[in-house]
Structure 1
Amino acid sequence: MVVIRQHGTNSELFDISRFLVDVDRFVQPDSWHITIDDCMGDRALEIEQLTAAGLSMSDGEFRELYSGIYQTIDGRFIGHAGGARVFELLAVDSSFWKVTGSPTFESHMLATYGACQRA
């Protein structure tokens, strides 16, 4: 597991919409299990209510559902491929992401987005 920043040096936001390129390159999930406590964007309240107890869906359904969200404040995204868990992205308090996956995926995410410097 690695911990990466949620905000870049120029106040750039690192969130799921940006991570999908990395996910597609390294892990290519066929389904997701998500639990969103707090997010911002189109359908945010609906998504929070739908996923409060966790919700599983296909990759396509996830991308459609979450397409209008620009920031995840607190949420968990677990990707599955062939029935096996292949990664997890955990947004914590709009401060950082905990990323769990293959060593290659974790290394890429850390190098691309930078380590979170927590106090």
Structure 2
Amino acid sequence: MVVIRQHGNNSKLFDISSFLADVDRFAPPDTWHITIDECLGDRALEIEQLTASGLSMSDGEFQALYRGIYQTIDGHFLGLAGGERVFELLAVDSSFWEVTGSPAFESHMLTTYGAWQRA
């Protein structure tokens, strides 16, 4: 597991929309299991309510549902392929992401987005 920052230089936000190409390259899921405590964007309240107890859906359904979200404050994303976990992303308090996956995926995420530094 690596911990990456959620906010880059010049207040650039790193969120799921930023990560989708990385996920598709290193750990393409056929199923997402998500639990979102708080997010911002289109349908945010609906998504928080729908996923409060966890919700599983196909990759296409997930991308359609989450398309309008620009920031995940607190949320858990588990990617599965053939029933096996291929990655896990955990957004914590709009501060950082915990990223778990293959060594190549973790290394790429750390290099691309930068390590989170406690203030």
Normalised-by-shorter TM-score class: over 0.9
Q: What amino acid sits opposite 1:37 in the alignment?
A: D
Number of the residue aligned with 1:112: 112
Of all paired residues, the percent bearing the same amino acid is 82
Shift of 1:51: 0.1
Shift of 1:65: 0.3
**1:115 & 1:105 partners in 2: Cα distance?**
14
Shift of 1:17: 0.4
Deviating above 3 A after TM superposition, structure 1's stretches of 4 or more consecutive aligned residues are none
Number of the residue aligned with 2:103: 103
Q: What amino acid sits opposite 1:49 in the alignment?
A: Q
Q: What amino acid sits opposite 1:67 in the alignment?
A: R
1:76-119 deviation digits (Å, cap 9, x = unpaired): 00000011011000000000000000000000000000000014
**2:40 & 2:11 partners in 1: Cα distance?**
16
Shift of 1:33: 0.2
Shift of 1:32: 0.2
Number of the residue aligned with 2:8: 8
Number of positions where the alignment pairs a residue of Structure 1 with one of Structure 2: 119
Q: Does 1:43 align with 2:49?
A: no
Q: Which runs of 5+ in 1 are unaligned?
A: none
**1:53 & 1:97 partners in 2: Cα distance?**
21
TM-score when normalising by structure 1: 0.99
SS at match of 2:25: helix
1:46-87 deviation digits (Å, cap 9, x = unpaired): 000000000000000000000000000000000000110110
**1:17 & 1:84 partners in 2: Cα distance?**
23
Number of the residue aligned with 2:86: 86
SS at match of 2:9: coil
**1:118 & 1:49 partners in 2: Cα distance?**
31
RMSD: 0.5
Number of the residue aligned with 1:62: 62
